[in-house]
Amino acid sequence: MSAEEQVAQQVSDLKIADKEEVSPTVFKSTEDFSVIHPLTDSWTLWYIKPPSGSKEDWKDLLTEVVTVSSVEEFWGAYNNLPKVSELPLRSDYALFKSNVRPEWEDVKNASGGKWVYQFRDNKAPIDDIWLNVLLGVIGGTMDTTQDPSVAREDQEINGVFVNVRRAGIRFNIWTKSKDLEKLRPIGLRFKELIKVKATDEVEFSGHSDGKSKNKIVV
Ligand code: MGP
């Protein structure tokens, strides 16, 4: 089995293993340690396989792997999936709120954009950085708009991508809007979570802005 087939097999095994019985949550009991810890949102992990030819439809590359709604489900999924460093070139992982597809076309992404940083050398601890990004997103520490005074539908982060590319591993934070006042603190927080220097720049661009227009850096 090739490395690429092994990754596909692990992804599909996890899809089958997903969801056993529903357990009581921590809100029901503060003493019973078998209870589960719900997340504020459900998140879906997607695997995007490398295109095998130039004519392949983007939609055919996407596989919905697993949806997690609790801390325990998150670790169950994370511990059974290939690490980013084991993925084939030109593949991606994406983790999105379960009501948003990881596509520009989704109505919740269409007016938004993404903060991006690409590690151009192969010395960065990519697996640790991706885990940091995942925890920052599901735990709500990445989304500086996620405080109790902000309505859920006004929160900015829809999801995150990691792209495995020859030029280097690229991390992307997809946002709902292009409102820079709200997005600048998220960009700065993103820099902290991926542990780049303050002088390194992360770049924001809108999904509909084209290649070079309207790029903002922090
Ligand atoms: P990419 O993964 O964002 O960048 O998109 P990459 O691989 O570095 O390549 P480049 O083209 O930006 O230099 C790769 C390709 O995947 C795009 O050109 C699209 O064909 C397709 N694609 C990626 N995304 C995130 C989408 C999407 O949301 N919708 C559609 N329709 N196609 C997408």
User: Which of 49, 58, 91 maximizes ligand 1 atoms within 8 Å of its Cβ, making it the mutation to test the pocket?
Assistant: 58
Split into its structural domains, the chain has a count of 1
Instruction: Please determine, for residue 153, whether its predicted confidence score (pLDDT) is greater than 80.
Output: no
Nearest CA to ligand 1 atom 26: 103
For residue 206, the model assigns a pLDDT of 94
Q: Is residue 159 part of a domain?
A: yes
Distance from the CA of 193 to the center of ligand 1, in angstroms? Answer: 24
The per-residue pLDDT of the chain, averaged, comes to: 88
Q: Is residue 115 part of a domain?
A: yes
Instruction: Please determine, for residue 74, whether its predicted confidence score (pLDDT) is greater than 90.
Output: yes
Q: Is residue 28 part of a domain?
A: no
Q: Which atom of ligand 1 lies at the shortest distance from residue 109's CA?
A: 28
Helices and strands (H and E) in the chain: how many: 4, 8
DSSP class of residue 36 equals B
Distance of CA 102 to the CA centre of its chain: 9
Nearest CA to ligand 1 atom 15: 58
Q: Is residue 164 part of a domain?
A: yes
For residue 32, the model assigns a pLDDT of 67
Tens-digit pLDDT profile for residues 95-123:
999 999 999 999 999 999 999 999 998 88
Q: Which residues line ligand 1 (CB under 6 A)?
A: 58, 103-105, 163, 165
Q: Where are the beta strands (DSSP E) in the chain?
A: 38-48, 62-70, 92-97, 113-119, 157-165, 168-175, 203-206, 216-217
Mean pLDDT confidence for 199-209: 93
Tokens representing 131 are 């885990």
Nearest CA to ligand 1 atom 20: 58
Q: In terms of Cα–Cα distance, which of 174, 155, 14, 165 is closest to 82?
A: 14
Distance from the CA of 111 to the center of ligand 1, in angstroms? Answer: 17
For residue 28, the model assigns a pLDDT of 67
Q: Which helix (H) or strand (E) holds 114?
A: strand 113-119
- Of the pLDDT bands very low, low, confident and very high (cuts 50, 70, 90), residue 200 is very high
Domain assignment of residue 80, given as a range: 35-208
What CATH number is given to the structural domain containing 67?
Answer: 3.30.760.10
- The residue ranking higher by pLDDT, 9 or 188, is 188
Nearest CA to ligand 1 atom 33: 58
**Of 49-53, 72-76, 111-115, 164-168, minimum mean pLDDT range:** 49-53
- Asked if residue 94 lies in contact with residue 188, where contact means CB atoms within 8 angstroms, the answer is no
Q: Which atom of ligand 1 lies at the shortest distance from residue 167's CA?
A: 8
Question: How many Cβ atoms sit within 10 Å of the Cβ of residue 94?
Answer: 23
Tell me the C-alpha distance between 114 and 206, whole Å. 6
Mean pLDDT confidence for 87-94: 97
Q: Is residue 17 part of a domain?
A: no
Q: Which helix (H) or strand (E) holds 204?
A: strand 203-206
Q: Is residue 24 part of a domain?
A: no
Q: Which atom of ligand 1 lies at the shortest distance from residue 172's CA?
A: 3
Concatenating the DSSP letter of every residue in 67-93 gives EEEEHHHHHHHHTTS--GGGSPTT-EE
Q: Global pTM?
A: 0.89
Q: Kindly state the percentage of the chain with pLDDT values over 90.
A: 66
Q: Is residue 134 part of a domain?
A: yes
Coil, strand, or helix at residue 130?
Answer: helix
Tell me the C-alpha distance between 109 and 157, whole Å. 10
Name, of 6-10, 18-22, 69-73, the range with top average pLDDT.
69-73
Tens-digit pLDDT profile for residues 14-58:
765 554 445 666 666 666 667 789 999 999 999 999 998 778 899
- Of the pLDDT bands very low, low, confident and very high (cuts 50, 70, 90), residue 214 is low
Q: Is residue 25 part of a domain?
A: no
Nearest CA to ligand 1 atom 16: 58
- The residue ranking higher by pLDDT, 67 or 14, is 67
For residue 175, the model assigns a pLDDT of 97
For residue 186, the model assigns a pLDDT of 95
Instruction: Please determine, for residue 4, whether its predicted confidence score (pLDDT) is greater than 60.
Output: yes
